[in-house]
Structure 1
Amino acid sequence: MKTAIVGGGVGGLALAVGLVQRGVDVVVYEQAPQFGQVGADVNLTPNSTRALDGLHAELGARLRETGARPQRRLSRRWDTGEVTSDLPMGDTAEEQYGAPQLTVHRATLLDALRELLPEGVLQLGHRVERIEQSADAVRVHFGGDRPAVDVDVLVGADGIHSVVRDTLFGPQDAEYTGIVAYRAVVPNDRLAGVGNLDSFTKWWGPDTGRQLVTFPLNRGEDLFVFATVGQPEWVAESWTTTADAAEFRGQYADFHPEVGTILGACDQVMKSALRVRDPMPRWSEGRVTLLGDACHPMTPFMAQGAGQAIEDAVVLCRALTGDDLPVDERLLAYEDARRERTGRIQLTSRANDWLKSGDQADWLYGYDAWTVPLGGSTRRENGVAG
């Protein structure tokens, strides 16, 4: 069963690794001509780390070696610094959930996944323009002079601006939330007097727009800073737009002195818009399905964007290599197993009040993509199958 994956991000590569390990003929088509250092971090909460552990024996060990392990997940008041939620992570999370929380550079995770793929599986410089499907195949058309290919299964892991999704269900613009995000990385040796550098810390602001999150990166040598603020209009789409560091600091001038110290050490700052879509009622049509941001883009307030793409990859891998069912039924089993969970996380993250107080994280961190039952056949029984 020849499978094509559109998009060489975290979710697409994770699926490819899982399928290769199980003997599936798979190819990943990525539009970028080469990989660069896009993004800064991936926060792998225990549900994500456990999912990656099962993909390949070497993967989890490498990420544990290169990543940082936050010791706690703290919520603090923006002005007084009062701790309103304190969730032990580190060894406690590994004992409770079977895997630790790890924070790694996005490029480190992508490199680790790519190195597990045989030569030829990842095809760069392939921009998908359109797809066609019949009862027994999917034809993928690329830009330029690249020839079309026919496959048995097509997975759209091509992000929030997914060509595959738009082909299946029509164009769907993402809604701008009215919030922009700032990102920076600061060496810890510039943060004298700042506590909890070994923890994931969220500073809750006086309004829903202003929040600030910090956590260790690069084996704990650096601190990653992610902060949001309301902004009525935004037109830039890039994740690599440079921001003015002084403007950034000014947005949080009334926050606790520790925040001031952190932001004062930020020299290079990136800025991007946060966009969302409502949960989709369908992800699949015939031999084509979606994965990750292509079907459930979410705000970063629960640190689950990459994690949910990884969970998708594991469940879809199981569906494609499990029972000997027709392709469309396998894709529906995957989709039905995932839609409720990802929809809940999309809406909870958008509300942006999760773990502001309390410690109810088991439903999120305790999920095991390797053992969760595959979905039923509700849509098939209702005559909606593709």
Structure 2
Amino acid sequence: MSLGESNSIHVAIIGGGITGIILALGLQKRGVNFTLYERAPAFTELGAGIGFSPNAERALKVINPEIDRVYKQLVAPTHGVEEYFQWADGYRTSEIEAKLLIGVDCFQGGRRSDFVDGWSKLISKDSVKFNKELSFLVHRDDGKVSLQFKDGSVDEADAVIGCDGIHSRVRQLILGETNPASYASYTNKYCFRALVPMEKAQAALGTEQTTGSDKSLNRVMYNGPNAHIITYPVAQGQFMNILLVISDPHPWKTEDGKHTAAGSKGEALRAYEGWHPRVRAIAELLPEELQKWAIFDMCENPAPYYYRDSVAIAGDAAHAAGPHLGSGAGFGIEDALVLATVLEAVNEKLDVQGQKAKVELCQAALAAYNNMRYDRTQWLVGATREACALFHWQDENVGSDFGKFLPEITKRFHKIWKQDIDEMLRETREEFKRLGSELPN
């Protein structure tokens, strides 16, 4: 083993979703050794639509330009026009009542499965292990972390990053299996989602409500009492992504404890009874049999911290939020960029300080990550719940008044979108430098 190899840390990434894949590509670009462990036999993701907020798009370019190149190949065409989020009164008129400028070539989207497939192909095959479901982590006397998997295999790493989603096993191991913060809770919202062929959507709704006469992406949300509907094109305009979100006062209960249950188009139509006929026509596009998805988050029992020793959590594993501000994946991408930055800094410092400092530097790096990400990501979880209340006319100060609604929703979106990525990284390096300087020589 060469001196350079011996002085490099090895990072274990648990989970091959969007956050895990982006982190892997960030480490790969920076020459940090890693292994990504995915419990499934291959990279896989649901085919539902997803959009990436402007802050996430900027971060992708910094993490690894190849990520951005693949991203641009997969997103729906924008035709160089200015894009807007548009909110309609779905209950009374179906007319657009509020608009928020996004920009040109911003907040582009596609199918989750397409992004996971395209990005995962960029990862070195030697750095990925499938069919690996984590059971336990053991902190060894030499500072390394031992990973024990359900198939009986054991591996080791200098640092472990849990990108294993809302049901994170790593979060349970950091916080404790009896800690309420180790588990997400029901938000009293559930959703139906579907991808509808664009020709079928246009036949039912017309051009204005689908692709738009100006060839914009025509993102529209229809707000109303205790529910909303979102529509936007994905898969380069071949499909219309439809998301129906419904308030639910009852506890979520399934026999197997899963966050999904069988649903139907009839159930969706009943939730929008009395809404404008044009909006109900969107629900009519759904297939007869549907999967009902409960929306869970980390709002009621937030994780008090995102790391312990040389183990950390990122993305939904750390700060799962609902989909209502379209930023869960984007904040996971920001997490990945910060982690890739501090873990690269560990390697750079090891070249000077040697193996002896490896454990302390890894812990300082994860502490810096925690300090940089905690407040912003915790804000998102609460802001997302507030946004859904605005969409469902449940905010007592706003109700169905779109004049009051627009400034409220704008300030939340702008706090997300206007994140200064360069400044975030500068502060991250300074925080790691501060924590690293406090270590004994």
TM-score normalized by the length of structure 1? 0.89
1:229 equivalent to 2:246? Answer yes
Give a deviation string over 1:324-377, Cα, whole Å, max 9, x none: 271111111111111111111110001223894133333211214454121748
Aligned residue number for residue 332 of structure 2: 309
Instruction: Note the C-alpha offset of 1:89.
Output: 2.9
Instruction: Note the C-alpha offset of 1:39.
Output: 4.2
Give a deviation string over 1:127-160, Cα, whole Å, max 9, x none: 11000114621111011232x1121010011111
1:137 equivalent to 2:137? Answer no
What CA distance in whole angstroms lies between the structure 2 residues aligned with 1:316 and 1:327? Answer: 11
What CA distance in whole angstroms lies between the structure 1 residues aligned with 2:85 and 2:169? Answer: 37
CA contact (8 A) 1:78 1:203 kept: yes
Q: Give the SS at the match of 1:331.
A: helix
CA contact (8 A) 1:5 1:26 kept: yes
Find the partner of 1:273 among 294, 301, 311. Answer: 294
CA contact (8 A) 2:17 2:45 kept: no
Find the partner of 2:101 among 88, 91, 97. Answer: 88
Q: Give the SS at the match of 2:164.
A: coil
Aligned residue number for residue 368 of structure 2: 333
1:204 equivalent to 2:223? Answer yes
The amino acid across from 2:253 in the alignment is V
Instruction: Note the C-alpha offset of 1:28.
Output: 0.5
The amino acid across from 2:65 in the alignment is A
What CA distance in whole angstroms lies between the structure 2 residues aligned with 1:185 and 1:141? Answer: 39
What CA distance in whole angstroms lies between the structure 2 residues aligned with 1:337 and 1:21? Answer: 22
What CA distance in whole angstroms lies between the structure 2 residues aligned with 1:62 and 1:333? Answer: 30
CA contact (8 A) 2:44 2:117 kept: no
CA contact (8 A) 1:51 1:368 kept: no
CA contact (8 A) 2:43 2:117 kept: no
1:57 equivalent to 2:65? Answer yes
CA contact (8 A) 1:6 1:30 kept: yes
Change (3 A) 1:37 1:314: closer
Instruction: Note the C-alpha offset of 1:242.
Output: 4.1
The amino acid across from 2:176 in the alignment is G
Q: Which runs of 5+ in 2 are unaligned?
A: 1-8, 211-216, 350-359, 392-401
What CA distance in whole angstroms lies between the structure 2 residues aligned with 1:371 and 1:14? Answer: 20
Aligned residue number for residue 308 of structure 2: 285
CA contact (8 A) 1:139 1:150 kept: yes
* Larger Rg belongs to: 2
What CA distance in whole angstroms lies between the structure 2 residues aligned with 1:242 and 1:68? Answer: 30
Give a deviation string over 1:73-104, Cα, whole Å, max 9, x none: 1111122224332122351xx5xxxxx21111
Instruction: Note the C-alpha offset of 1:5.
Output: 0.5
Aligned residue number for residue 357 of structure 2: none
Give the share of equivalent positions with the same residue, in percent: 26
Aligned residue number for residue 75 of structure 1: 87
What CA distance in whole angstroms lies between the structure 2 residues aligned with 1:216 and 1:151? Answer: 42
Q: After the TM superposition, which segments of 4 or more aligned residues of structure 1 sit over 6 Å from their partners?
A: none
Give a deviation string over 1:226-272, Cα, whole Å, max 9, x none: 11213313234556644211221221132222212211121153211
Change (3 A) 1:380 1:282: farther
Give a deviation string over 1:207-235, Cα, whole Å, max 9, x none: 3xx12111111112211111121331323
Matches within 5 A, 1:240-251: 241-251=261-271
Change (3 A) 1:239 1:33: farther
Report how many residues are paired: 371
Change (3 A) 1:242 1:166: same
What CA distance in whole angstroms lies between the structure 2 residues aligned with 1:126 and 1:17? Answer: 19
Change (3 A) 1:40 1:116: same
Q: Give the SS at the match of 1:161.
A: coil
Q: Give the SS at the match of 2:307.
A: coil
The amino acid across from 1:86 in the alignment is K
CA contact (8 A) 2:322 2:385 kept: yes
The amino acid across from 1:24 in the alignment is V
Change (3 A) 1:65 1:196: farther
Which segment drifts farther, 236-245 or 65-74? 236-245
What CA distance in whole angstroms lies between the structure 2 residues aligned with 1:116 and 1:286? Answer: 30
Find the partner of 1:357 among 406, 410, 413. Answer: 406
Q: Give the SS at the match of 1:295.
A: helix
What CA distance in whole angstroms lies between the structure 2 residues aligned with 1:240 and 1:58? Answer: 34
The amino acid across from 1:141 in the alignment is Q
Find the partner of 1:264 among 284, 288, 306. Answer: 284
Q: Give the SS at the match of 1:233.
A: coil
Aligned CA RMSD, in angstroms, stands at 2.4
Aligned residue number for residue 161 of structure 2: 155
CA contact (8 A) 2:45 2:116 kept: no
1:367 equivalent to 2:419? Answer yes
Matches within 5 A, 1:99-138: 100-134=106-140, 136-138=143-145
Q: Give the SS at the match of 2:126.
A: coil
